[in-house]
Structure 1
Amino acid sequence: MYKLQPKPVIVTLEIASADMEQFNTLRALHFPGHANYLEAHLTLFYRLPGMEAAIPEILQQYAQRPVMPLQVSGVVNFGTGVAYTLQSSMLQELHASLQKDFDPWLVKQDRHPLRPHITIQNKVTAFKAAQLHAQLTESFTPFDITAVGFGTWAYLRGPWKALDRFMFEER
């Protein structure tokens, strides 16, 4: 049961746990330990108001859908880290619809088009990021994963606290 709370809420796309194993393994190996508070994740919205009762209602409504395939399409170096990029027209349409419903509460960062990614390294030197990027790119082949729902999290100035999950329907 979702509980309203004063901290900002982060919304993630839940990925099948078997699909996340490889990302979590890479994150454990390459993310600096002092800054690795979280498992790998795909953030949809970075800051929604935790006291807004409509947010969980909207997520529950949108969860009434089948699981969604996503393609892991590439590896990107963003200067201080590395992430896997994802492609899905269904996810882009879903995110755009959620943006419309969340419009009154969106901060500037959450108004941008979604660039879905799963970060496996961050807060490192440009040299370390370039090394990992080259290593992962050398053997990369696109592959599919499955989105299975939404997760909500309270932001605690570093770590996140899990609040609730809104799971898609298995069809």
Structure 2
Amino acid sequence: MGVMAEEYPPIIVTAQFDAQADDLFQRRRQEFFPPQLNFIPAHLTLFHNLPGDRESEVVKGIAAAIEGQSPITAQVPELMSLGRGVAYRIVSDDLKALRGRMIQRFDGMLVKQDRQGFRPHVTIQNKVSPGEAKGTRAILEQDFASFPAKIEAIQLWHYRGGPWSPIGVLPLQG
């Protein structure tokens, strides 16, 4: 008899920000995300769906890809529209390069969504009407100024159809 898929939930990989940036992202998500749908923290997804049955290989691949990597300075230059939501756009060539190194290690494991273009962002609102999203963006843009954010670690999570379960955190310690 085969192993049930639930025994090996997919792995999500995210970037962990410094406390100041993370606090802002979490507060804004609490403020603007529909409460009945807000059961995961604000996050920047690096990979949406790596195979849970290859968890050890995934963790080792990420550890190898981040070896020698110092914390990454990113810029948050603007808010971006998601159509039915709002996000903070994240810009960092170093983050893109790090993700590229991870992709090399996960050849053959990536789903279509993770093979497509990488648009780093932190979603603070989603699944609302386009009008509500436009209004939220207008409110946030009133006092928005570009700011730096530091990516200090890589987080791994299991996706079980609702809240995510943490697997672990791999610090960027260069």
Q: Find out whether 1:47 has 2:49 as its counterpart.
A: yes
Aligned equivalents of 1:138 and 1:63: distance in 2?
37
Q: Report if aligned partners of 2:44, 2:122 keep a CA contact under 8 Å in 1.
A: yes
Corresponding pairs, count = 166
The answer on 1:56 being equivalent to 2:59 is yes
Aligned counterpart in structure 1 of residue 140 of structure 2, from 131, 136, 139: 136
Asked if 1:109 corresponds to 2:113, the answer is yes
Q: Partner residue of 1:25?
A: 27
Rounded to whole Å, the distance in 2 between the matches of 1:161 and 1:108 is 23
Question: 5 Å matches for 1:117-136?
Answer: 117-136=121-140
Cα offset, 1:61, TM superposition: 1.6
| Unaligned 5+ runs, structure 2 | 1-6
Query: What are structure 1's unaligned runs of at least 5 residues?
Result: none
Cα offset for 1:113? 2.2
1:72-91 equivalences in 2 (<5 Å): 72-91=76-95
What is the RMSD of the two structures over their aligned residues, measured on CA atoms? 1.2
Same amino acid, percent of matched pairs = 33
What is the match of residue 152 of structure 2?
A: 148
TM-score, structure 2 as length reference: 0.91
Q: String of CA shifts for 1:52-78, please: whole Å, max 9, x gaps.
A: 121100111223211110000110111
Deviation at 1:12, TM superposition (A): 0.4
In the alignment, the residues of structure 2 paired with residue 70 and residue 154 of structure 1 have an alpha-carbon distance, to the nearest angstrom, of: 26
| Secondary structure of the structure 2 residue equivalent to 1:21 | helix
The one-letter code sitting in structure 2 at the alignment partner of 1:21 is D
- Matched residues in 2 for 1:9 and 1:92: separation? 20
- Residue 108 of structure 2 aligns to a residue whose secondary structure is helix
Structure 1: distance between partners of 2:36 and 2:93: 36
Post-superposition Cα deviations, 1:121-171, rounded to whole Å, max 9, x if no partner, equal 0111111100011111232211001001110101011211111111111x6
